Structure 1
Amino acid sequence: MKRAALFLALAGTAMSLAVRAQPAPPIRIGIIFPLTGGSADMGNSARVGAQVAVDEINEVGGYLGRKLELVVRDDKADNDTGLKLAQELVNSEKVAATIGFCNTGVAMKALDVFQSNKSVLIVPCATGTAITAKYPPADSYIFRMSARDQLQTQFLVDEVVRRGLTHVALLVDNSGYGDAGLKDLEAALARAGLKPAAVVRFKLGVQNLEPEMQQLKASGADALIGWTVGPEQGVISAARAAVGWKVPQLGPWGLSHASAFATSQGRVEGTAMVQTVVPNFFLERNSAFVRHYAKVSNETPIGSMMSAAQTYDSVNLLLRAMFDSKGDLSGPALKHALENPGNIYRGVVSTYDRAFSASDHDAISGNMLWLGTWRNGERGYYYKDDERRASIIRRKETTAVAKQSAQPAAQ
């Protein structure tokens, strides 16, 4: 009997130790991006950016010994698919938070899922102005790391005015993204006392825009702003070259996607586009990120540098919120922590003293934008002066009125 009791005691102790030795369950983070289809360059770059961040975090122990785990879903740039996947991640997978959406229409259809369930969503790519305007920031669980279209359109119009151009032609796709972008463009032009010289709309998926380009050329415009996503930006550049129209071509961040370069067969060279970040090997965090990215994906150039970097920063800001919430990973706790960060975050895109607040859920302000271009098959700074000043980090402005000048700050 004594032997049996001793055996049972030892067995019980061994089982207790085995239970205690089991690793803590991972913290699961939802990921929703278009991994297939026309927006796949954005989506896959964002996915790799998230993986780079998670790999680095897990290498140093994760969150208090708990690994981070990505629960990845492909929304295919389809609104209904995005809604279904949002419901799955929040209600079935019970993720701690979600990072996702590259397409404004897909994001807008899914926002209610996160808001009604008080589940944090960080949008690293989609730029539609309405995304962070649908709910008052004080109540909203929606945060964003990309530059909203209202900022991008103002930036482009400011550049047009800076060059002394006055007759701007607009070539805009007929998606919800195009509708909202056109509204923002016309408002920005009106603030500058300008009207579009011509406005032409087109369908997504178009393969040739030469007739439309001839129409715009005949308008006598002295500048062209194309408003659409990556592949169609390439179609615009190819058509502009084909009709021999040599006016400046400007566009939002989609003009910087690798699909724009590939579709145009390099004819995007010399165009100008809005950027929050440009590959720069003289910036330590920037160059380290590009090197780590290359270990996960060997794509050259990166499909979308901005998607990748903004998603990387999203994961790291979420991790800091987990620490600031002191172990409470509920939606309300993470929301409060994101709005009230305990420390500065030195990211790839910028150094954030406070990316978000209870009154502002957009991490990017107008002063943080750069004018980029395609140069020798890679993205670069349009102006050499910007390239020389790039080591001066442009931090988010907290004033109500965003300025277009950089704020010097140490890295």
Structure 2
Amino acid sequence: MRFKNSFKQWAMPLATAGLLTLGGLAKAEDNLKIGLVAALSGQSAKSGEAITRGLTIAIDEINADGGILGRQVELLRRDDESNPNKGLLAARELVQKEEVAVLFGGLDTPVSLAIVPLANRMKFPFMGVWAAGTPITKNGAEENYVFRVSAVDELVDEALVQYGIDKYGMEKPGMILINNPWGESNEKGFRKALESRNMKWAGIERVESNDTDMVPQLSRLKDSGADSLLMVANVAPSAQVVKSLDRMGWDVPIISHWGPAGGRFTELAGENGDKVHFIQTFTFVENQKGKGADVMAALKKRYPEIQDLADVTPAVGIANAYDAMHLTALAIENAGSTDGPAIRQGYYDVSRYQGLIKTYSNPFSPDQHDAIGPDDYVFTHFVDGRIVPLKQ
């Protein structure tokens, strides 16, 4: 047993727990288990669904090719409900009771930040595939067990500022940020990006996940002379920003982190949701070629409800998870075991992988635990419910 189940109180089954057995395989003691803690319910449930689909397609491919270390791979999921405490409980249960080899994280930076200290203390690999908070991987641990195939806030913020300048001639943006550690992470990144250009900002306003009227915050930014908005929030508050702007009659450019992609944004935001330009690491397109076409075909076969591009939104969750699972399989093969420190070294020993997002070359090192950089970002918006790349 890799981890002693010494904390029985953490190993209680969660009411929202789910088990996904892939490829029609019967659950067996010798399966190699992979864990996922993500939002599987609520307004961000589409993010958890997308991650699940990306992992599932990758695991189907891996199992068809003989599995990992000769063992079939089994995915165990737990719903964190976007709640850090529930995410931490789920992580402990998956690691200590289910003995997963690697734990994957979901959409929410606060949830991932709650799990990071546990991962480093217990020496189990934690792979992020969506949450972008800079401190998730740059966490200061002497032995860092947290890796990521996802965007990184400090790099995204630099890209968002430059996009605002290039696209809109932005001179004095206002920041509207979710009031949690993700918002704090991006405030630091925006300040750094703007200060490096000797640019001022109109103000910084905070919003809560359950806010339904943001006119006061937006009015202060407007009165301070904001010529654009730099927005960081998940689906519901991002949609309320758009609706509040509509009530004000303020037509202002919105340059956003990828929060709107994680759920029912267009449904909640209304017809002007397409005005929000947001960043992604990947999006499926019409007439897809290469590996993208292969993954899309596999998705349609595995999930009959997928008929067109609108049905794979958000593609970024699928792509990040798909690539991360294949990189994890290579790391475990390199390790030759499911021992945490050996897998950590196995990530460092991955030399090359032709993925969905890009071809990875030595993606991880002791000083670099993020496999995706600023050259891998693409700007998008919603068109008829589909995430479509913007021409730049």
Secondary structure of residue in 1 paired with 2:175? strand
Separation of aligned partners in 2, 1:243 and 1:290: 41
Tell me the residue number matched to 2:56: 51
Tell me the residue number matched to 1:42: 47
Figure out how many residues of one structure are paired with residues of the other and give that number: 359
> What are the Cα deviations for residues 61-120 of structure 1, in whole angstroms up to 9, with x where unaligned?
222542100111111111111111111122221111111132111111111221112111
Separation of aligned partners in 2, 1:328 and 1:76: 32
Aligned: 1:198 with 2:203 = yes
Identify the match of residue 117 of structure 1 among 119, 122, 126.
Answer: 122
Tell me the residue number matched to 1:290: 296
Check 1:101–1:135 CA distance in 2 against 1; reply closer, same or farther (3 A cut): farther
- Structure 1 unaligned runs (5+)? 1-22, 386-411
Aligned: 1:66 with 2:71 = yes
Q: Is the Cα contact below 8 Å between 1:234 and 1:267 reproduced in 2?
A: no
Identify the match of residue 131 of structure 1 among 132, 136, 139.
Answer: 136
The letter for the 2-side match of 1:124 is V
The letter for the 1-side match of 2:148 is R
Separation of aligned partners in 2, 1:256 and 1:107: 18
Q: Is the Cα contact below 8 Å between 1:258 and 1:301 reproduced in 2?
A: no
Q: Is the Cα contact below 8 Å between 2:207 and 2:237 reproduced in 1?
A: no
The letter for the 1-side match of 2:337 is D
Check 1:283–1:210 CA distance in 2 against 1; reply closer, same or farther (3 A cut): farther
Secondary structure of residue in 2 paired with 1:268? helix
The letter for the 2-side match of 1:247 is V
Q: Is the Cα contact below 8 Å between 1:266 and 1:377 reproduced in 2?
A: no
The letter for the 2-side match of 1:229 is N
The letter for the 2-side match of 1:336 is Q
Separation of aligned partners in 2, 1:65 and 1:308: 25
Identify the match of residue 281 of structure 2 among 270, 273, 276.
Answer: 276
The letter for the 1-side match of 2:234 is V
Normalised by the length of structure 1, the TM-score is 0.82
When the two chains are superposed, the root-mean-square deviation of aligned CA atoms in Å is 1.9
The letter for the 1-side match of 2:93 is E
Identify the match of residue 320 of structure 1 among 302, 310, 330.
Answer: 330
Separation of aligned partners in 1, 2:75 and 2:262: 24
Tell me the residue number matched to 2:354: 346
Secondary structure of residue in 2 paired with 1:269? helix
Q: Is the Cα contact below 8 Å between 1:259 and 1:303 reproduced in 2?
A: no
Identify the match of residue 146 of structure 1 among 145, 150, 159.
Answer: 150
TM superposition shift of 1:291: 3.0
Tell me the residue number matched to 1:330: 339
Aligned: 1:376 with 2:384 = yes
Percent identity reads 27
Aligned: 1:365 with 2:365 = no
Check 1:302–1:258 CA distance in 2 against 1; reply closer, same or farther (3 A cut): farther
43-52 or 284-293: bigger deviation: 284-293
TM superposition shift of 1:331: 0.9
The letter for the 2-side match of 1:288 is D
- Structure 2 unaligned runs (5+)? 1-27
Tell me the residue number matched to 1:158: 162
Separation of aligned partners in 2, 1:288 and 1:266: 33
Secondary structure of residue in 2 paired with 1:274? strand
Identify the match of residue 32 of structure 2 among 22, 27, 36.
Answer: 27
Secondary structure of residue in 2 paired with 1:151? helix
Counting only pairs closer than 5 Å after superposition, residues 379-394 of structure 1 correspond to structure 2 as 379-383=387-391
Tell me the residue number matched to 1:309: 319
Tell me the residue number matched to 2:13: none
Q: Is the Cα contact below 8 Å between 1:232 and 1:260 reproduced in 2?
A: no
Separation of aligned partners in 1, 2:203 and 2:262: 26
TM superposition shift of 1:123: 0.6
Normalised by the length of structure 2, the TM-score is 0.86
TM superposition shift of 1:183: 2.2
The letter for the 2-side match of 1:109 is A
